Amino acid sequence: MATGPVVHRCGRGIIESLCASKDCQAAEWIGVGIGINTGPVYVGSIGSETFKDYTVVGNTVNVAARICGRATKFQVLFTENRERLIAPGETPYASIGKVALKGLKEPVEVFELIT
C-alpha cells in the first residue's frame, strides 16, 4: 500500500499536469473534478472472446465515481478513509459533510482537498 499524502499527490498531480500544458486554457476547458476512494476492488480482464476490457470493479470504484460526479472543476473529493490517504498534518482538507450516494444505504462523509 502507498504511504504518505496519497490524495495530495494524486489530486495535485493531475491538476498540475493539466495546467502544465502550454495551453492552460485547454486545461480550464476540460474542467475535470476528481474523486478518490480506497478499498478492495476486483481487477482483471472482463468480457468475451471477441472483446476484452482490463478494468477494476466493485463498491470502492463505484463510490469513487459517485463522489467524482459531485466534484466541481479542479475540486478533489475523497471519502472518510482519509487516515489511509493523508499523512497527519501534511495536507489541508475539510469535510463537506455526509453525502447520500446512489447504491449505498448509509451516507458517506466526503472531504475536500484544500488547494
**Structure-derived torsion over alpha carbons of residues 42, 84, 3, 73, reported in degrees to the nearest 10:** 80
Domains of the chain: 6-113 (3.30.70.1230)
Per-residue pLDDT of the chain (115 residues; tens, 9 = 90+): 444 455 556 666 666 666 665 556 665 666 778 898 888 999 999 888 898 899 999 999 999 999 999 998 888 898 877 666 676 666 778 899 999 999 999 999 999 888 7
Give the pLDDT score at 5. 53
Q: How far apart are CA 115 and CA 65, in angstroms?
A: 21
| Residue 11 CA neighbour count, 13 Å, CB half | 28
Task: Report the phi/psi class of residue 47: left, alpha or beta, with left for phi > 0 and alpha for psi in -120 to 50.
Answer: left
Tell me the pTM: 0.74
How high is the pLDDT of residue 2?
A: 46
* 6: Cβ contacts below 8 Å, ≥ 6 apart: 36, 84, 85, 86
